[in-house]
Structure 1
Amino acid sequence: MPKIIGGSLHEHREQTRHKLFAALSTLMTERGFDAITLADIANAAGVGRTAVYNHFPDKEALLLGFMTYETEQYAATLQRAIDAIDDPVEQLRTYIRQQADLARVYHVAPRPELRSVLSRGAQQRVREHVVLVERLLRDVLARGIATGAFPEQDLDVTVPLVNACVSGRNMPADDEERARAVEQTEAFVLRAVGAPVGQLV
């Protein structure tokens, strides 16, 4: 019988999943998703190959689990950051900054190039989790409209446009250039949603 990690079976399962996720992330960085096997992941995680199958039936299911976990963690972190602010304009600025920092903090959420290796059904499941992040943006914009910070607008149109702007851009690695790019993105998005001119600086 395998040794239990942690104080309970639940903790054991959670810790094993996290070890598998960490191994998958490392191996994807080194080789790419297509070049690794479940055996490689099990070996890197320090668990038996059968332990992987106790959690995920195949490599795609493991990637989907990892992407789901990362997206949920990111959404929770973003929600806490937004909840700490009252002003909708500053909430939107925070959303933009968090999205700009996404690739440096979270490994897969919501990277389109990784979603492309998933089957159509798995892509739909990932999309359902990405909606969590979009809902936060929608809430910020709706609050801004309700308080008069932003003019009335169709959020079904605005939300995907803003998300395409802030999540579809590769930010520079250099800190100074990155700060400038984030500042320009903030100003662009704030103008796009109709924030007062005085709030753009």
Structure 2
Amino acid sequence: MPKITGDSLSQHREQIRQRVFEAFVELISERSFDAITMAQLAAAAGVGRTTIYHHFPDKDAVVVAFASHETNRYLDELGSVLADAATPSERLGRYLRHHLAEGEQFHLGLGPQVYGLLSDSSLREIREHVVAVETVLRTIIDDGVASGDFTVTDVDGVLPLIHACLNPRHLEAETIVGFVMAGVGART
């Protein structure tokens, strides 16, 4: 009989998942995604091979579950950061600063080297997580346009441009924030 950790079966399952996620982060920092095996993930997480397959049928499932976990954590933090902002301009500034401060940890560099190896269905599931974050930004921009705080005429075009501005890590955060705020015509 396997040993159950935690106070309940659901807590035990969550602890196993968390250990697998931590092992995934460790392994992906050391080697490429295609070089990681489920056996290596299990060993790094301190669980048996049958246990890891009980929770995740394959590596794609690990990546999708990890992306979901990280997105939910990120959205919770973002919600707290934005909660008491009085204006769309203030919310946008907070959104940008939070994304610049936390975005690198949130994304973990899981770009083309991982996503290029995932199945189409896994990529669609991960895209849903990206859309959840984009929805927060869309709401901020829509609210700013409605209140007259922003002079954006093409919200669909502006959203990817804003996120593209958040990628350059070699620039000062306030330079990026100032550029985006000017780009949307923010009243401060």
Equivalent residue number for residue 192 of structure 1: 183
1:127-146 counterparts in 2 under 5 A? Answer: 127-146=127-146
For residues 32-71 of structure 1, the aligned pairs below 5 Å read 32-71=32-71
Which residue of 1 is the match for residue 111 of structure 2?
112
1:92-111 alignment runs, 5 A limit: 92-108=92-108, 111=110
Deviation (angstroms), 1:153: 2.0
Distance of 2:110 and 2:47 partners within structure 1: 27
Query: Structure 1, residues 93-149: CA drift from partner, whole Å, max 9, x if none?
Result: 1111122123443254x8432322212221111001110100000111111122221
Q: Tell me which residue corresponds to 1:175.
A: none
Mapped contact 1:151–1:194 kept (Cα < 8 A): yes
Instruction: State the Cα distance separating 1:18 from its structure 2 match.
Output: 0.3
**Post-superposition, which runs of at least 4 consecutive aligned residues in structure 1 deviate over 6 A?**
none
Q: What CA distance in whole angstroms lies between the structure 2 residues aligned with 1:3 and 1:111?
A: 33
Pairwise CA distance, 1:65: 1.0
Change (3 A) 1:107 1:146: closer
TM-score by length of 2: 0.92
Question: What SS does the corresponding residue of 2:85 show, helix, strand or coil?
Answer: coil
Aligned partner of 1:14 in structure 2 is 14
Using the TM superposition, give the Cα deviation of residue 86 of structure 1 relative to its aligned residue in structure 2, in angstroms.
Answer: 1.4
Question: Relative contact order (C-alpha < 8 Å, sep 6+): which is higher?
Answer: 2
| Aligned mates of 1:73, 1:182 — CA distance in 2 | 22
Tell me the distance in 2 between the aligned counterparts of 1:117 and 1:101. Answer: 28
Structure 1 distance, partners of 2:128, 2:138, is 15
Q: Is the 8 A contact 2:138 2:159 kept in 1?
A: yes
Query: Does 1:31 pair with 2:31?
Result: yes
Partners of 1:97 and 1:182 within 8 A in 2: yes
Query: Distance in 1 between the 2:67 and 2:152 partners?
Result: 34
Greater displacement, 49-58 / 90-99: 90-99
Instruction: Measure how far apart 1:15 and its partner are.
Output: 0.6
Tell me the number of residue pairs that the alignment of Structure 1 and Structure 2 aligns: 187
Per-residue deviation, residues 3-23 of structure 1 (Å, max 9, x unmatched): 111011100111100000000
Instruction: For structure 1, list consecutive stretches of 5 or more residues without a partner in the other structure.
Output: 173-177
Query: Sequence identity, in percent?
Result: 41
Conservation of the 8 A alpha-carbon contact between 2:152 and 2:184: no
The code of the aligned residue for 2:177 comes to: E
8 Å CA contact retained: 1:25, 1:107: no
Is the 2:152–2:158 Cα contact (8 Å) retained in structure 1? no
Out of 45-54 and 112-121, give the one that drifted further: 112-121
Query: 2:154 matched to 1:154?
Result: yes
Q: 3-state DSSP class of the match of 1:151?
A: coil
